[in-house]
Amino acid sequence: MVNKSASFKLTTYFDTPPDKVSKLVKNVATLYFVSSPLLIFRPVKGQELSHQWTNGTYWFHLYLFGFIPLGKQAIVISFPKSPVFQILDDGHSQFIKQWRHMITIKKEGQGTLYEDQLQISAGAFTYLVIVFAQLFYKHRQRRWKKLLEYK
């Protein structure tokens, strides 16, 4: 099997205080909102899932556009020690060996600098997955802006 990995970083500014953005990042429902309608996450049956992310592994069924099944994905949450807020998903699936997603939230003026940093390893499919991930995370950041307009 080909062992390839690729990474990228996307950063955006929100005119919202970092404590408010951090609180929303910790809320599981925020994942559902910022991912839709491109990707829909449905928890695997029988799994306990609270409203707030805590350290642990969470399994989801993924659906492209809400109806094309993409299989199961593990979201493996931790909160690295850092002077700024960070949440790490060191996820994986049957086809994606590594989906390492770090969200970093920093104070910038009166608002927040929000950063998605990803490292992906999917063997021979890494390039295809990274192209999709870049589109997906641009979509997520647009949805974040929409979410913050309502909050």
Report the Cα–Cα distance between both ends of the chain, in Å, rounded: 46
- The rounded distance, in Å, linking the Cα atoms of 87 and 105 is 9
Element (H or E) spanning 124, and its range?
A: none
Which pLDDT band holds residue 93 (cuts at 50, 70, 90)? very high
* Cβ contact 20:151 at 8 Å: yes
**So what's the pLDDT on residue 72?**
98
Q: Is the pLDDT of residue 3 over 80?
A: no
- The rounded distance, in Å, linking the Cα atoms of 87 and 135 is 21
Find out whether the peptide bond into 17 is cis, omega within 30 degrees of 0.
no
Domain ranges of the chain: 6-150
Q: What is the pTM of this model?
A: 0.94
- The rounded distance, in Å, linking the Cα atoms of 59 and 148 is 27
What are the tens digits of pLDDT across the range 109-135?
999 999 999 999 999 999 999 999 999
Strands (E) in the chain, as ranges, are 6-14, 39-43, 56-64, 68-78, 85-93, 98-108, 111-121
Chain centre to alpha carbon of residue 40: 12
**CATH level 3 topology of 6-150:** Alpha-D-Glucose-1,6-Bisphosphate; Chain A, domain 4 (3.30.530)
Q: Is the pLDDT of residue 1 over 60?
A: no
- The rounded distance, in Å, linking the Cα atoms of 104 and 93 is 23
- Residue 41: both structure tokens together: 């996450």
